[in-house]
């Protein structure tokens, strides 16, 4: 049998931090990931490109895409946590731009297939930040 003596208060503090991470970390990470994805989509709008980094088609008459004309769709953007996931919503006529029509080429806002690397990175960084801050906070900031 091995016996250990000493002050284990710091170890208990770290354990409490890990418990907090388990109970509240998902919510915190989901919130930060939502903010990160929102900011990533805002960058897409500014650059005039899809989630996959493809430039949106210009207007037939020239000039920037309809998606950048008034900013109405960008202002309608909603990104929120939905319990172990993220929901992205954009008001009409975003659906027409997402898939295109007979008269208008597609200018997708949301990912067409799988989550693009820019969104994945935003989520990974947000989750990593929550984990690191929680553990560092529990360990006394080291």
Between 6 and 80, residue with greater pLDDT: 80
In the block, tokens 């659906």 appear at 95
Average pLDDT over residues 89-109: 82
Mean pLDDT of the chain: 79
Q: What is the phi-psi region of residue 57: left when phi exceeds 0, alpha when psi lies from -120 to 50, beta otherwise?
A: beta
Average pLDDT over residues 52-76: 76
pLDDT for the residue 63 = 67
Q: At residue 140, does pLDDT exceed 60?
A: yes
- Residue pair 45/74 in contact (Cβ under 8 Å)? The answer is yes
Q: What pTM value is reported for the model?
A: 0.73
pLDDT for the residue 82 = 82
């Amino acid at each position: 049998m091995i016996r250990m003596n000493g002050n284990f208060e710091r170890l208990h503090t770290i354990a409490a931090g890990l418990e907090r991470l388990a109970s509240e970390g998902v919510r915190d990470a989901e919130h930060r990931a939502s903010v990160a994805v929102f900011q990533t989509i805002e960058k897409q709008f500014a650059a005039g490109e899809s989630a996959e980094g493809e430039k949106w088609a210009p207007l037939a008459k020239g000039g920037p895409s309809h998606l950048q004309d008034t900013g109405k769709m960008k202002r309608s953007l909603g990104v929120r946590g939905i319990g172990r996931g993220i929901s992205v919503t954009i008001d009409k006529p975003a659906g027409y731009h997402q898939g295109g029509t007979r008269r208008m080429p597609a200018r997708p806002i949301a990912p067409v297939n799988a989550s693009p690397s820019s969104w994945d990175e935003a989520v990974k960084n947000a989750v990593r930040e929550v984990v690191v801050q929680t553990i560092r906070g529990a360990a006394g900031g080291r």
